[in-house]
C-alpha cells in the first residue's frame, strides 16, 4: 500500500474507533465477548473477558445479601478464602417489591463490592422457588393466590409452591428476571463482574409426587407434548440408560397420555413434573438471555441416594430426567448437582453425561471437600467448585488451598481433564490407588510407607503433565511412585532424575529447594518394587506442597 492509501486507511480507522467509542455504551456486548461456555474437543471452559476461567468459588448463606450492609460485613471472611468467584443470592422479593417497580440496589451493591474485592459473581436467582418452596416470591405474589396459584396435593391441600402449570406465575417471574438481566447488562457488560446466573434453586415437589391442581390435572390428562415425543424418537439411542429402560419397559410409546407413555407411578410423576419445571425455568432463562446472554444453570438437590429410598425433590434436574430437561429447557447452559451425599465422583460422572458442563454450586469445603475439588476439576473438568456457606470456612484449610489453586489455575486451564491433568484422593478405607497418565502408572498411597498421617482424614494429589517424563504434583498426605506402563524388552525401571519443591509465580516455576534422599525415598523393598518397574523413589507429601519431578529409566 502506498503512503496515501495508508493515510486514508488510518483516518478511516480513527473515524471508526470514534464511532465505536460513542455507540459502545449503548450496545449490548457482542455475544462472543460476554461470559460464555466454550467447548473444544469435548472440554468445556467458562470464558470471561475473552479468557478461559476456572471458578474457584464459594456460595454464601441464603440471607447474606439480605442487605448490602450485611453482605459488606462478610468480606473480611470472604477475603481470607482467596476465592475468585462468589455465588450469592438475589431474591425476587427484594428486586420487585411492588409489581412493576424494580429496585436493583442490592445488585448494584453486590457488583460494587465484588469489583472492589477483585472477585466475580455468580448470582442465584431466588425467584419462584428456593428449595422447592416459594418463600422468596414478593408479597404481592404471595397474597394473590387467584392470580398466582399454588401447587395442590392429592387432597386439595395448598402447598407453598407456585404451580408450574400457571402461565401467570411464569410470566411474572420471567418479567422480573429479564428486568434484572437488562440491568446487569447495562451496568456490567463491559466489566463482566457477573459471570453466571443460577436460575431458581433446588426445585421440585415431594419425592415421587405430582401437582394435583386443576391446571396440573389438565396437563396430566393431555397427550405428552410432541416436542418430548419427537425428542424420544430422535434421541432413542443416546437417552440416559435408566430413563430409556423405564420408557421402553412401558412399550417405548411415542404418543399418548403421560400415564400411557411414562406410567402413573413415582417415575411417571417425576418425568411429568420435570418437563413442566424445565419448561417454566426455560422460559425464565429465555427471557433473561434475551436481555443479557451469559451462562445460566439450574441446580438440583440430589438427595440421599445412598439410602435405600431416594428422597430428592420430584421434578428437579437430576440425571434420570436429564433428557427431559435438555428437551424442554435447551436455553440452559447446564444442570448442576449440589453434592452433599453419596458417591462424589459418581455424581460428577452422571452430570457430565450428554455434554453437560460440570458446575458444582454447593458442596462441602473441608479437607474432604478439598480433595473433591481436585477430582472435580482435574478428573471431571468442572468449571466451578463452590462449597456452600463459604463464609463459615474462613480460617479453614480451604483458604490456603484456594490460594495455591489460583497459582495453578492457568496450567490447569491448558490441560485436558483425565488426560494431561489428573487427581486422586485416598483415605483409610482406600489407602492405595493407581492411575495411568501418559506413559506412566502412578501408585498413590495414603501417607508414607504404610503409615497413615496422624489426624488426616484424606490424602490427595493433583498431577499436571509438564513434559513426556515430567510432572508438577500438588499434594497432601500422600506418596506417589511412578513406573512405565510398557517396560519393554529391557524391563526398564523408573527412577527420579530430579525433584524440586517450589511454586508458580506469575506463571513461572520457582524452585525453593532440591529434594533427594529421605524426601524421595518411598520404598526400600527393592525386589518387589523392581517387579513393578518402580525404583523405590517417588514423591512424598506430608504437609501441602508442590513439587516438580523429572523421571528417567534404567
Ligand atoms: C441446599 C440449598 O440449595 C441451600 O440454599 C441451602 O438451603 C442448603 N441446602 C443448606 O444446607
Q: For the chain, list the domains and their CATH numbers.
A: 52-211+266-406 (3.20.20.80), 421-553 (2.60.220.20)
Ligand 1 centroid to Cα of residue 365, in Å, is 14
Tell me the HSE value of 38 on the side-chain side, using a 13 A CA sphere.
Answer: 16
Structural contact between residues 95 and 106, judged by C-beta atoms closer than 8 angstroms: yes
Q: Which atom of ligand 1 is nearest to the CA of 124?
A: 5
Structural contact between residues 365 and 61, judged by C-beta atoms closer than 8 angstroms: no
Q: Cα 315 to chain center, whole Å? A: 20
Of 503, 451, 502, 476, the residue nearest 371 (C-alpha): 476
Cell numbers standing for residue 358: 460440570
Ligand 1 centroid to Cα of residue 126, in Å, is 12
Ligand 1 centroid to Cα of residue 9, in Å, is 58
- Residue of 58, 60, 61, 131 with the most ligand 1 atoms within 8 Å of its CB, for mutation: 131
Query: Residue 40 forms beta bridges with which residues?
Result: 43
User: Atom 11 of ligand 1 has which residue's CA nearest to it?
Assistant: 388
**pLDDT tens string 86-131:** 999 999 999 999 999 999 999 999 999 999 999 999 999 999 999 9
Q: Which atom of ligand 1 is nearest to the CA of 201?
A: 3
Ligand 1 centroid to Cα of residue 69, in Å, is 22
Ligand 1 centroid to Cα of residue 360, in Å, is 13
- Residue of 62, 317, 361, 365 with the most ligand 1 atoms within 8 Å of its CB, for mutation: 62
What 3 state SS string does 71-116 have? HHHHHHHHHHCCCCEEEEEEEHHHHCCECCECCCHHHHHHHHHHHH
User: Atom 10 of ligand 1 has which residue's CA nearest to it?
Assistant: 388
Structural contact between residues 484 and 490, judged by C-beta atoms closer than 8 angstroms: no
Cα separation, 245 vs 240, in Å, equals 9
Ligand 1 centroid to Cα of residue 211, in Å, is 23
Q: Which atom of ligand 1 is nearest to the CA of 89?
A: 5
User: Atom 5 of ligand 1 has which residue's CA nearest to it?
Assistant: 62
Q: Which residues contact 489 (CB under 8 A, 6 or more apart)?
A: none
Of 435, 436, 464, 461, the residue nearest 446 (C-alpha): 461
Cell numbers standing for residue 292: 443479557
Ligand 1 centroid to Cα of residue 547, in Å, is 37
- Residue of 200, 304, 388, 389 with the most ligand 1 atoms within 8 Å of its CB, for mutation: 388
**Cβ count near 432 (within 10 Å):** 10
Structural contact between residues 480 and 539, judged by C-beta atoms closer than 8 angstroms: yes
Cα separation, 284 vs 296, in Å, equals 10
User: Atom 2 of ligand 1 has which residue's CA nearest to it?
Assistant: 131
Cα separation, 410 vs 140, in Å, equals 47
CA angle 307, 313, 315 (to 5 degrees): 130
Give whole-number Cα distances, 59 to 114, 122, 228, in Å: 14, 9, 34
The secondary structure of the chain in percent helix, strand, coil, rounded to multiples of 5, reads: 40, 30, 35
Phi, psi at 344, each rounded to 5°: -55, -50
Cα separation, 125 vs 107, in Å, equals 11
Cell numbers standing for residue 38: 466454550
Ligand 1 centroid to Cα of residue 385, in Å, is 15
Ligand 1 centroid to Cα of residue 123, in Å, is 15
User: Atom 6 of ligand 1 has which residue's CA nearest to it?
Assistant: 62
Pairing of strands 194-201, 43-48: unpaired
Ligand 1 centroid to Cα of residue 173, in Å, is 21
Ligand 1 centroid to Cα of residue 280, in Å, is 21
- Phi-psi sector, 252: left (phi>0), alpha (psi -120 to 50), beta: left
Which of the 8 DSSP states describes residue 35?
S
Cα separation, 84 vs 294, in Å, equals 18
Ligand 1 centroid to Cα of residue 492, in Å, is 53
3-state secondary structure of 408: helix
Q: Which atom of ligand 1 is nearest to the CA of 388?
A: 8
Cα separation, 385 vs 58, in Å, equals 7
Which of the 8 DSSP states describes residue 379?
I
Structural contact between residues 211 and 155, judged by C-beta atoms closer than 8 angstroms: no
- Residue of 302, 312, 362, 365 with the most ligand 1 atoms within 8 Å of its CB, for mutation: 362
Q: How many helices and strands, by DSSP H and E, does the chain display?
A: 17, 23
Q: Is 181 exposed, middle or buried (0-12, 13-18, 19+ CB in 10 A)?
A: buried
- Residue of 61, 338, 339 with the most ligand 1 atoms within 8 Å of its CB, for mutation: 338
> Which residues of the chain register pLDDT less than 50?
1-29
Cell numbers standing for residue 319: 440425571
Phi, psi at 359, each rounded to 5°: -125, 125
User: Atom 8 of ligand 1 has which residue's CA nearest to it?
Assistant: 388
Ligand 1 centroid to Cα of residue 340, in Å, is 10
Q: Which atom of ligand 1 is nearest to the CA of 202?
A: 3
- Residue of 124, 201, 300, 340 with the most ligand 1 atoms within 8 Å of its CB, for mutation: 201
User: Atom 9 of ligand 1 has which residue's CA nearest to it?
Assistant: 131
**pLDDT tens string 326-351:** 999 999 999 999 999 999 999 999 99
Ligand 1 centroid to Cα of residue 301, in Å, is 9
Give whole-number Cα distances, 2 to 14, 260, 386, in Å: 18, 76, 57
Ligand 1 centroid to Cα of residue 22, in Å, is 45
> What residues line ligand 1, using a CB cutoff of 6 Å?
62, 131, 201-202, 338, 362, 388
Query: Residue 436 forms beta bridges with which residues?
Result: 441
Q: Which atom of ligand 1 is nearest to the CA of 361?
A: 3
Give whole-number Cα distances, 58 to 81, 369, 384, 394, 457, in Å: 9, 12, 9, 11, 22
Amino acid at each position: 500500500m502506498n503512503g496515501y492509501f495508508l493515510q486514508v486507511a488510518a483516518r478511516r480507522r480513527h473515524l471508526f474507533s470514534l464511532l465505536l467509542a460513542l455507540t459502545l455504551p449503548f450496545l449490548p456486548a457482542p455475544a462472543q465477548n460476554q461470559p460464555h461456555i466454550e467447548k473444544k474437543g469435548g472440554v468445556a471452559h467458562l470464558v470471561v473477558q475473552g479468557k478461559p476461567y476456572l471458578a474457584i468459588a464459594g456460595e454464601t448463606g441464603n440471607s447474606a445479601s439480605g442487605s448490602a450492609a450485611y453482605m459488606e460485613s462478610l468480606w473480611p471472611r470472604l477475603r481470607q478464602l482467596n476465592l475468585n468467584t462468589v455465588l450469592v443470592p438475589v431474591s425476587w422479593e427484594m428486586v420487585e417489591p411492588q409489581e412493576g417497580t424494580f429496585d436493583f440496589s442490592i445488585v448494584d451493591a453486590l457488583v460494587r463490592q465484588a469489583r472492589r474485592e477483585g472477585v466475580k459473581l455468580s448470582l442465584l436467582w431466588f425467584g419462584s422457588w428456593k428449595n422447592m418452596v416459594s418463600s422468596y416470591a414478593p408479597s404481592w405474589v404471595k397474597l394473590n393466590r387467584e392470580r398466582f396459584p399454588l401447587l395442590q396435593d392429592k387432597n386439595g391441600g395448598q402447598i407453598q409452591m407456585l404451580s408450574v402449570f400457571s402461565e401467570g406465575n411464569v410470566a411474572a417471574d420471567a418479567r422480573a428476571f429479564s428486568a434484572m438481566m437488562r440491568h446487569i447488562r447495562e451496568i456490567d457488560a463491559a466489566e463482566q463482574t457477573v459471570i453466571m446466573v443460577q436460575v431458581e434453586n433446588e426445585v421440585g415437589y415431594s419425592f415421587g409426587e405430582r401437582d394435583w391442581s386443576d391446571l396440573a390435572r389438565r396437563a396430566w390428562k393431555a397427550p405428552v407434548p410432541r416436542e418430548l415425543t419427537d425428542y424420544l424418537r430422535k434421541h432413542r439411542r443416546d437417552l440416559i440408560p435408566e430413563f430409556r429402560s423405564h420408557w421402553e419397559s412401558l412399550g417405548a410409546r411415542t404418543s399418548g397420555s403421560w400415564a400411557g407413555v411414562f406410567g402413573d407411578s413415582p417415575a411417571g410423576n417425576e418425568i411429568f413434573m420435570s418437563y413442566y419445571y424445565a419448561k417454566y425455568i426455560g422460559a425464565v432463562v429465555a427471557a433473561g438471555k434475551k436481555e443479557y446472554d451469559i451462562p445460566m444453570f439450574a441446580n438440583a438437590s440430589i438427595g440421599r441416594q445412598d439410602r435405600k429410598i431416594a428422597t430428592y425433590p420430584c421434578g428437579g434436574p437430576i440425571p434420570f430426567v436429564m433428557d427431559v430437561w435438555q428437551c424442554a429447557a435447551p436455553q440452559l447452559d447446564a444442570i448442576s448437582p449440589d453434592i452433599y451425599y453419596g458417591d462424589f465422583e459418581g455424581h460428577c460422572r452422571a452430570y457430565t453425561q450428554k455434554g453437560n458442563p460440570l458446575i458444582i454450586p454447593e458442596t462441602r469445603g473441608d479437607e474432604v471437600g478439598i480433595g473433591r475439588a481436585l477430582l472435580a476439576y482435574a478428573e471431571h473438568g468442572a468449571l466451578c467448585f463452590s462449597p456452600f456457606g463459604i463464609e463459615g470456612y474462613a480460617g479453614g484449610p480451604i483458604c490456603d488451598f484456594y490460594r495455591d489453586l489460583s497459582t495453578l489455575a492457568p496450567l490447569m486451564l491448558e490441560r485436558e481433564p483425565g488426560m494431561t491433568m489428573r487427581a486422586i484422593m485416598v483415605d483409610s478405607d482406600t489407602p492405595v490407588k493407581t492411575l495411568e497418565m501418559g506413559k506412566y502408572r502412578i501408585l498413590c498411597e495414603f501417607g508414607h510407607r504404610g503409615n497413615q498421617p496422624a489426624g488426616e482424614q484424606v490424602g490427595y494429589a493433583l498431577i499436571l503433565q509438564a513434559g513426556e517424563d515430567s510432572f508438577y504434583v500438588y499434594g497432601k498426605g500422600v506418596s506417589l511412585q511412578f513406573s512405565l506402563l510398557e517396560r519393554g524388552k529391557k524391563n526398564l525401571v523408573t527412577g527420579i532424575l530430579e525433584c524440586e519443591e517450589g511454586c508458580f509465580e506469575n506463571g513461572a516455576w520457582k524452585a525453593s529447594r532440591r529434594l533427594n534422599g529421605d524426601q524421595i525415598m518411598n520404598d526400600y523393598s527393592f525386589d518387589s518394587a523392581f517387579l513393578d518397574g518402580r525404583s523405590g523413589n517417588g514423591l512424598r507429601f506430608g504437609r501441602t506442597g508442590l513439587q516438580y519431578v523429572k523421571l528417567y529409566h534404567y
